[in-house]
Amino acid sequence: ALHRIPHPPYRLPLLGDVVGASRSTPMQDSLRYARRLGPIFRRRAFGKEFVFVWGGSLAADLADETRFAKHVGLGVANLRPVAGDGLFTAYNHEPNWQLAHDVLAPGFSREAMAGYHVMMLDVAARLTGHWDRAEASGRAVDVPGDMTKLTLETIARTGFGHDFGSFERSRPHPFVTAMVGTLGYAQRLNTVPAPLAPWLLRDATRRNAADIAHLNHTVDDLVRDRRAGGGGGDGDLLDRMLETAHPQTGERLSAQNVRRQVITFLVAGHETTSGALSFALHYLAQHPEVAARARAEVDRVWGDTERPGYDQVAKLRYVRRVLDESLRLWPTAPGFAREAREDTVLGGTHPMRRGAWALVLTGMLHRDPQVWGPDAERFDPDRFDAKAVRSRAPHTYKPFGTGARACIGRQFALHEATLVLGLLLRRYALRPDPGYRLRVTERLTLMPQGLRLHLDRRTPPP
Ligand code: HEM
């Protein structure tokens, strides 16, 4: 069935479709191919064929949970040595997925989220303290760097009662450096033939082992401290991992699985949210009319309440649309893989064997002109007003993946990011660097490269 799927014109023996390919930006590379080759296409690398899907109707068909499920492949599979059968990297058949899902899902309930809200405000205050100092001295701020500090501290504090001290450091916390290393390594593994990786990436492989050791070490310390303190996390994620038995089976997570979950949540819980906030701030700085409208909403809904309450965040409808639209153009987890549960026919046209899989290119799905119109490349938050959303085909906006294995932290991320955008809009006017052109770096996730903004405190300060 593969032969009917288009592929790039120049295929080299052994290497495959590497002509013109860029190894440091594989996702943006695939977007270029997508535009040339259409809604479904394939690329060959080192003797294997990979199928990519981005057309709205084909992607919607892949969302059918009765016929398709998550596939652990490519970048996600390469993270197995780090995260094993943790929630994100577990195979569907591994019993620890359901166990951990059932034990941890209540950690994302409305009630739990309302408890995190106060801690999110505290962390946000550390960010604004940091930005106030930059503003006072006329320095531009490093947006991705500071958003990473914010989101790491937020997940560490809410999930694990831990403080990495990110805002007191001039360089990223070593945990972040190790994480960036392992994500980048997992991405690079896709660019060399697997059997040759130990040779071709010899130094990188050694560094990666050291990075993994550092992640494990950090997490083991964190768990040891909690156990030594005799619990006391007030039912946070770590308490749930350590103490909570499955409501039906009474089973608990093993020590090894706890380690994997802690790493998973510390990484999955901050890296993509940081990117989402960074892209949103970029678009706000580039579109003063959007920023003005969003800021007017914050002033209207929050008034001069210094610490907005939990319920006041969801009321920022327009700010949320800015975030949704940023995640449309740059979904910071840029793809997800789906496999056939049984022999089936994708979209009524492409037969797939049981276990065959395809990668959904979210960033391209989100730019399909059939779904988003001829101006799909344009930034326009009004695409997410209620009427526009109702009139769009289902399963065509998927920044958080789909089905049973979709993002467990979706509400957490949206609440955190909307809250922080509200606080920043209320406090500062954002000015871009005149010469800045958006460039996107990839390390499995996406991040605007070198994004700096100039700040002006709003007068009178609200
Ligand atoms: C899964 C995106 C924030 C934890 C996923 C998946 C996507 C995604 C696309 C599915 C991956 C797949 O199908 O292979 C995002 C984005 C975020 C975000 C774009 C921010 C804007 C978070 C946060 C947390 C989190 C804040 C935790 C607090 C997880 C976990 C999974 C997951 C544990 C695996 C779920 C499972 O398989 O059961 N995320 N995520 N994510 N995410 Fe997120």
Q: What is the pLDDT of residue 199?
A: 87
Q: How far apart, in whole angstroms, are the C-alpha atoms of residue 203 and residue 249?
A: 45
State the catalytic residue, choosing from 41, 379, 400, 412.
Answer: 400
Q: How far apart, in whole angstroms, are the C-alpha atoms of residue 164 and residue 175?
A: 9
454: left (phi over 0), alpha (psi -120 to 50) or beta: beta
DSSP state letter for 45: E
Q: State percent of the chain over pLDDT 90.
A: 77
Residue 444: pLDDT band (50, 70, 90) is: confident
Our answer to whether residue 400 is catalytic in this structure is yes
Tell me the mean pLDDT in the region 258-271: 92
CB 362 within 8 A of CB 399: yes
Q: How far apart, in whole angstroms, are the C-alpha atoms of residue 416 and residue 321?
A: 14
Taking all residues of the chain, what is their mean pLDDT, rounded to a whole number?
Answer: 92
Q: How far is the CA of 334 from the centre of ligand 1 (A)?
A: 11
Give this complex's ipTM: 0.99
Least confident of 28-42, 118-132, 364-378: 28-42
Q: What is the pLDDT of residue 309?
A: 97
DSSP state letter for 460: S
Q: What is the pLDDT of residue 46?
A: 72
Q: Mark out the alpha helices in 72-164 (DSSP H runs).
A: 74-78, 80-83, 95-104, 110-136, 143-160
Question: Cis (ω within 30 of 0) for the bond into 461?
Answer: no
DSSP state letter for 306: S
Whether the CB of 360 sits within 6 Å of ligand 1: no
Q: How far is the CA of 117 from the centre of ligand 1 (A)?
A: 19
Distance linking the first and last C-alpha atoms of the chain: 62
Query: Which residue, judged by its Cα, is nearest atom 26 of ligand 1?
Result: 269
Element (H, E) at 218: helix 202-228
User: What 3-state DSSP class applies to 264?
Assistant: helix
Q: What is the pLDDT of residue 404?
A: 97
How many whole angstroms from its chain centre is CA 439?
A: 18
Among 99, 92, 47, which residue's Cα sits nearest to residue 70?
A: 92
Whether the CB of 278 sits within 6 Å of ligand 1: no
pLDDT at 461 > cutoff 60: no
Our answer to whether residue 177 is catalytic in this structure is no
| Strand runs labelled E in 281-343 | 335-340
Whether the CB of 182 sits within 6 Å of ligand 1: no
How would you list the strands of the sheet with 48-53, edge to edge? 40-45, 48-53, 357-361, 335-340, 68-70
pLDDT at 335 > cutoff 90: yes
pLDDT at 316 > cutoff 80: yes
Q: What is the pLDDT of residue 17?
A: 64
State the catalytic residue, choosing from 407, 412, 418, 445.
Answer: 407
Whether the CB of 266 sits within 6 Å of ligand 1: no
| Closest atom, ligand 1, to C-alpha of 265 | 27
Residue 231: pLDDT band (50, 70, 90) is: low
| Closest atom, ligand 1, to C-alpha of 332 | 19
Whether the CB of 155 sits within 6 Å of ligand 1: yes
Query: Which residue, judged by its Cα, is nearest atom 42 of ligand 1?
Result: 407
User: What 3-state DSSP class applies to 75?
Assistant: helix
pLDDT at 462 > cutoff 60: no
Q: State percent of the chain over pLDDT 70.
A: 96
CB 395 within 8 A of CB 379: no
Which of the listed residues 116, 328, 407 should we mutate to test ligand 1's pocket, taking the one with most ligand atoms within 8 A of CB? 407
Task: List Cβ neighbours of 119 (8 Å cut-off, separation of 6 or more).
Answer: 154, 157, 158
How many whole angstroms from its chain centre is CA 412?
A: 12
CB 159 within 8 A of CB 238: yes
Tell me the mean pLDDT in the region 384-390: 96
Our answer to whether residue 272 is catalytic in this structure is yes
Q: Which of 6-20, 36-50, 403-417 has the largest mean confidence?
A: 403-417
In angstroms and rounded to an integer, the radius of gyration of the C-alpha atoms of the chain is 22
DSSP 157-216: HHHHS----GGG-SS--HHHHHHHHHHHHHHHGGGS-GGGHHHHTHHHHHHHHHHHHHHH
Residue 34: pLDDT band (50, 70, 90) is: very high
| Tokens read off for 23 | 């190894």
| Closest atom, ligand 1, to C-alpha of 108 | 28
User: How do residues 219-229 score in pLDDT, each as one tens digit?
Assistant: 999 999 998 88
User: How do residues 390-440 score in pLDDT, each as one tens digit?
Assistant: 999 999 999 999 999 999 999 999 999 999 999 999 999 999 999 899 999
Residue 260: pLDDT band (50, 70, 90) is: very high
| Tokens read off for 70 | 């998550």
Residue 460: pLDDT band (50, 70, 90) is: low
User: How do residues 138-170 score in pLDDT, each as one tens digit?
Assistant: 999 999 999 999 999 999 999 999 899 999 998
Q: What is the pLDDT of residue 145?
A: 95
Q: How far is the CA of 404 from the centre of ligand 1 (A)?
A: 12
What does each C-alpha distance from 359 to 20, 38, 63, 427 come to in angstroms?
A: 21, 14, 12, 41
What does each C-alpha distance from 311 to 178, 275, 316, 415 come to in angstroms?
A: 36, 25, 10, 10
Whether the CB of 401 sits within 6 Å of ligand 1: yes
State the catalytic residue, choosing from 89, 148, 218, 272.
Answer: 272
Q: How far is the CA of 86 from the centre of ligand 1 (A)?
A: 12
User: How do residues 284-315 score in pLDDT, each as one tens digit?
Assistant: 999 999 999 999 999 999 998 989 999 999 99
Q: How far is the CA of 89 from the centre of ligand 1 (A)?
A: 11
Query: Which residue, judged by its Cα, is nearest atom 28 of ligand 1?
Result: 269
Q: What is the pLDDT of residue 47?
A: 74
